[in-house]
Structure 1
Amino acid sequence: MNQQLQSVLAQRGVSPDALAGACEVDPKTVSRWLAGRLPHPRHRFRAAQHLQVSEAFLWPSPAPSAQTTATPVGLGLIGTYQNRASVPRDLWLALLLGARKQIEVLVFSGTFFAQSNPEVARMLANRAAEGATVRLCFGDPLGQAVALRGHEEAIGDTLAAKVRASLTYYRPLLSDAGCEVRLHDTTLYTSLFRYDDHLLVNPHVWGRPASANPVLHLRKTEESGWFDHYARSFEDVWAAARPWTPDPEVTPAHGQD
């Protein structure tokens, strides 16, 4: 099954018959696409355009065949974006709605993650209710790593305040089974956003906010590639992070990122 296409159709409220009409193909053809068949390039383009999502998300490049003698550089890379703002909002939503097994986020503050989608906490809770494991890891506002990063970005204590503001969005998740929020005090070289076998990687550059840096869209493959490389780093940071226990007297206003 093409789960990406299925989830985007559901999110958009577009029926297979409607997509067939937009692409000028028989509805049975769209059924075959949903079953996993790769459409003709012109149909891939028209479908992605109609659904307003990247073609690479709907139909990622296949993994190398067993006859390939050399492992290509960037195994698992299916898309790149100039900066975080260039990642379509629809892609964030489609990945979140399509996740069935796990959702993992590793950031310092990540306020954009909630502010670009005010329903994100409810959506995460729904994914957890359907059986997905949700793990969110933010920078410890009292830790040295957040203080250092704030100094490097020349914003001082503002980053710690942004972390506290961001956490207020996720307070309702603490009572939900399948959801966990932790705080880390590690030097963070990359922000990570995992949805099952898809991973958005946002590298950090000294002195520049994460939002100004490129984003890589990776997909897990049968061979160990970039996806596994970054996924392991999440596990390492998560293992050293502490559970978040919010102070009921601290309710900062939502900040900006």
Structure 2
Amino acid sequence: MNERLHSVLAQRGVTPESLAEACEVDPKTVSRWLGGRVPHPRHRFRAAQHLRVEETFLWPTPPSRGGRPNAGLGSEIVGSYQNRASVPRETWLSLLQGAQRQIDVLVLSGTFFAQTNPHVAKMLAERAADGVQVRLCFGDPTGQAATLRGREEGIGDTLAAKIRASLTYYRPLLSESGCEVRLHDSTLYNSLFRYDDNLLVNPHVWGQPASANPLLHLRRVDATGWFDTYAQSFDAVWAGARPWTPDQEGTARHGQD
């Protein structure tokens, strides 16, 4: 069974019938692909293009004759987006709801994360209740990194205010077992959103808001790939971050409008 093809179809909301139509093949042919058969090269290309993923992710390069696997370039890339704002809301929701082991978020303000899903705290609490480890790491509104980033984006102290406003959505999580919220003062080269073996990487372009920058959807293949490199960077920032203590820091008790 081609589990990657099954997964991408579900995440994109594409039926086997519509994929068959896009590739101009019989629906039974797509069923055979889902069962593990490798399509003809022209069909692999059209399917990957229609699903907005790398062909080598859906059908990885087979091992060479010497027995050494060929790590096809981009084999971890499920898809890419011109900017974070173009990622469908359904993708964020399905990844969050489908997480079974861990959810890690590394951002500066992450305002959109709650504003596009007003029930995000409740959903995170539900995942934690099912045994999922939830770790949220925001920028420290009093730190130097937030001050510098605000200056580079030309918004001054607005970024610190956005962080404080964003944090108010997650106050209910502080009393939930399995949920942690910390503040970091690190130079953030990218925002990270991990859901088990799925990772959304939002690189930061100097002077531009994160929402306007590209986003890569990665799926873990092995311990030597991009996924683990980014995951380790999250762990490094998390280790140096401090617990969020809203009552001591005077953070507002209510979210922004």
**What TM-score do the two structures reach when normalised by structure 1?**
0.78
Q: Is the contact made by 1:139 and 1:163 (CA closer than 8 Å) also made in structure 2?
A: yes
In structure 2, the residue matched to 1:77 is 77
In structure 2, the residue matched to 1:188 is 188
Please point out which of 56, 61, 66 is paired with 2:58. 61
Matched to 1:66, the amino acid is P
Q: What is the 5 A alignment of 1:42-53?
A: none
Q: Is the contact made by 2:4 and 2:58 (CA closer than 8 Å) also made in structure 1?
A: no
* CA 55–61 in structure 1, closer or farther in 2 if over 3 Å, else same: same
Matched to 2:235, the amino acid is E
* CA 71–250 in structure 1, closer or farther in 2 if over 3 Å, else same: closer
Matched to 2:58, the amino acid is S
State yes or no: 1:207 paired with 2:207: yes
**Unaligned 5+ residue runs, structure 1?**
13-18
Q: Is the contact made by 2:57 and 2:74 (CA closer than 8 Å) also made in structure 1?
A: no
Q: Secondary structure at the match of 2:105?
A: strand
Q: Is the contact made by 1:7 and 1:98 (CA closer than 8 Å) also made in structure 2?
A: no
- Give the Cα separation in 2 of the matches to 1:191 and 1:197: 16
Q: What is the 5 A alignment of 1:1-257?
A: 2=3, 37=36, 54=51, 56=53, 60-67=57-64, 70-247=70-247, 249-251=250-252, 254-255=255-256
- Post-superposition Cα deviations, 1:57-102, rounded to whole Å, max 9, x if no partner, equal 9x95244433266533334122111001111111111111111011
Q: Is the contact made by 1:76 and 1:226 (CA closer than 8 Å) also made in structure 2?
A: yes
* CA 77–6 in structure 1, closer or farther in 2 if over 3 Å, else same: closer
- Post-superposition Cα deviations, 1:163-196, rounded to whole Å, max 9, x if no partner, equal 0111011111111111110000000000000010
Q: Is the contact made by 2:53 and 2:80 (CA closer than 8 Å) also made in structure 1?
A: no
**Unaligned 5+ residue runs, structure 2?**
21-25
Q: Secondary structure at the match of 2:58?
A: coil
Q: Percent identity between the aligned chains?
A: 57
* CA 8–164 in structure 1, closer or farther in 2 if over 3 Å, else same: farther
- Give the Cα separation in 2 of the matches to 1:250 and 1:240: 21
Q: Is the contact made by 1:7 and 1:97 (CA closer than 8 Å) also made in structure 2?
A: no
Q: How many aligned positions are there?
A: 238
Task: With a CA cutoff of 8 Å and minimum separation of 6, indicate the structure with the bigger relative contact order.
Answer: 1
Q: Is the contact made by 2:165 and 2:256 (CA closer than 8 Å) also made in structure 1?
A: yes
Matched to 2:229, the amino acid is H
Matched to 2:228, the amino acid is D
- Give the Cα separation in 1 of the matches to 2:156 and 2:82: 26
- Give the Cα separation in 1 of the matches to 2:17 and 2:4: 21
RMSD: 3.4
- Give the Cα separation in 1 of the matches to 2:172 and 2:251: 15
